[in-house]
């Protein structure tokens, strides 16, 4: 049996060409729908009520036009009529309203199984029946997840927070699906302990630009500043800060960390992390804070040769090493992480100043997913200590 399906808004006027059904003339249907649309004025139900209605048994209504009109009004007393749709399923070819020959005339079933409709009242007594008609309120489709996030910029809280990064843009998908994400919680009893090569730092006084990029204070460095490890030399591009520190070591969190971003000739990244703890004033940070821009996307050019990254390196240069990712979108993986084990000092006043701009710009720790972490318990010949 083939049926026609019409989807009409609650406030629609019936077309005069609507195919007739046995015992139900088009004018009868028009009056019925118009009366329902005119009188339904109620707010959407609470989610709990919607779920209860969704699991209720279908409601069946029957009777004359007056009876159906009355029952439909009661059944539709919740929900926003401007957001509802009616599916009218009508069999124009059947002389018996879609029923097998000899079957009794069908009732007018009104099925309120949609999420935004409550159960209808009990069925009234038997009356002369009209042709088959199925009326179903239908909620408009919800917008796609990506549409909901299309205008949200990534951040560290709210709708654009870390747990939503992977949904904000296609380019950010690895933030949610990646298996080698950073930062991580490093525990000594789960590391690969042993000797390790020294990191060859070659930092020189350089010029730079300090920028407030809306997520942190970042210093772009210009000059021949490099580190060499694992047979590769990486050039320093920039460094920035996270408050509190993103890394966690043996259950301990630090109030701040500096991340120094390096890149080699193949475009591969190496990230040096320097943990910061309260103590004496840090000379390198003091130079940066002195020229700190206050407005987002504002930049300040630093005096020539002001930046010497070597000033922030600890004397003990043993480190943890693992493969991870950027800790901000797009969360690119394949980053070599070098986390110096000995923290360096930063004054409480320096911490307070940064915290006034960025109280929390740290991504939560990510799963290890079986990745090994190398623990350099001592440095090979030629390194410190």
So which residues are the catalytic ones? 215
Distance CA 366, CA 178 (A): 10
- Asked if the peptide bond before residue 115 counts as cis, ω within 30 degrees of 0, the response is no
With beta carbons less than 8 A apart as the criterion, state whether 214 and 231 touch: no
Q: Which residue has the tokens 């240069």?
A: 317
| SS3 call for 92 | coil
Q: What is the DSSP string of 167-200?
A: HH-GGGTHHHH-SS-S--EE-GGGSEEEEEPPPE
Closest by alpha carbon to 199, among 340, 324, 323?
Answer: 340
Distance CA 235, CA 339 (A): 17
Distance CA 286, CA 236 (A): 20
Distance CA 177, CA 170 (A): 12
- Quick count: other Cβ atoms within 10 Å of Cβ 49? 16
User: Strand pairing of 319-325 and 256-263?
Assistant: unpaired
What are 249's two structure tokens? 């070591």
């Amino acid at each position: 049996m083939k049926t026609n399906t019409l989807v009409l808004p609650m406030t629609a006027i019936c077309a005069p060409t609507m195919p007739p059904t046995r015992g139900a003339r088009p004018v009868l249907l028009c009056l019925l729908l118009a009366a329902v649309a005119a009188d339904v004025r109620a707010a959407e139900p609470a989610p709990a009520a919607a779920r209860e209605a969704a699991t209720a048994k279908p409601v069946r209504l029957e009777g004359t036009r007056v009876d159906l009109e009355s029952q439909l009004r009661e059944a539709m007393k919740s929900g926003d009529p401007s957001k509802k749709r009616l599916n009218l399923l009508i069999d124009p070819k059947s002389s018996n309203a879609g029923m097998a020959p000899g079957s009794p005339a069908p009732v007018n079933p009104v099925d309120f199984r949609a999420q935004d409709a409550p159960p209808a009242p009990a069925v009234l007594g038997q009356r002369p029946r009209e042709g088959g008609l199925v009326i179903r309120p239908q909620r408009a489709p919800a917008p796609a997840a990506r549409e909901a996030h299309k205008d949200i910029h990534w951040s560290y809280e709210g709708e654009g927070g870390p747990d939503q990064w992977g949904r904000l843009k296609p380019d950010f998908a690895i933030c949610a699906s990646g298996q080698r994400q950073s930062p991580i919680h490093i525990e000594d009893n789960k590391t690969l302990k042993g000797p390790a090569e020294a990191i060859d730092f070659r930092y020189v006084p350089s010029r730079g630009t300090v920028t407030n990029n809306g997520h942190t204070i970042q210093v772009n460095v210009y000059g021949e500043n490099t580190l060499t490890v694992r047979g590769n030399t990486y050039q320093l591009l920039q460094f920035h800060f996270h408050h509190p520190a993103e890394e966690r070591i043996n259950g301990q969190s630090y109030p701040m960390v500096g991340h120094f971003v390096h890149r080699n000739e193949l475009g591969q990244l190496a990230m040096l992390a320097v943990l910061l703890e309260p103590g004496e004033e840090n000379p390198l940070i003091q130079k940066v804070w002195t020229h700190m821009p206050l407005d987002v996307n504002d930049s300040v050019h630093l005096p020539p040769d002001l930046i010497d990254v070597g000033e922030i390196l600890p004397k003990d240069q043993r480190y943890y090493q693992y493969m991870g990712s950027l800790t901000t979108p797009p969360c690119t993986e394949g980053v070599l992480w070098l986390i110096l084990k000995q923290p360096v000092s930063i004054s409480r006043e320096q911490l307070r100043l940064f915290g006034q701009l960025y109280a929390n710009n740290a991504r939560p720790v990510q799963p290890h997913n079986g990745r090994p972490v190398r623990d350099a318990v001592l440095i090979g010949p030629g390194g410190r200590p």
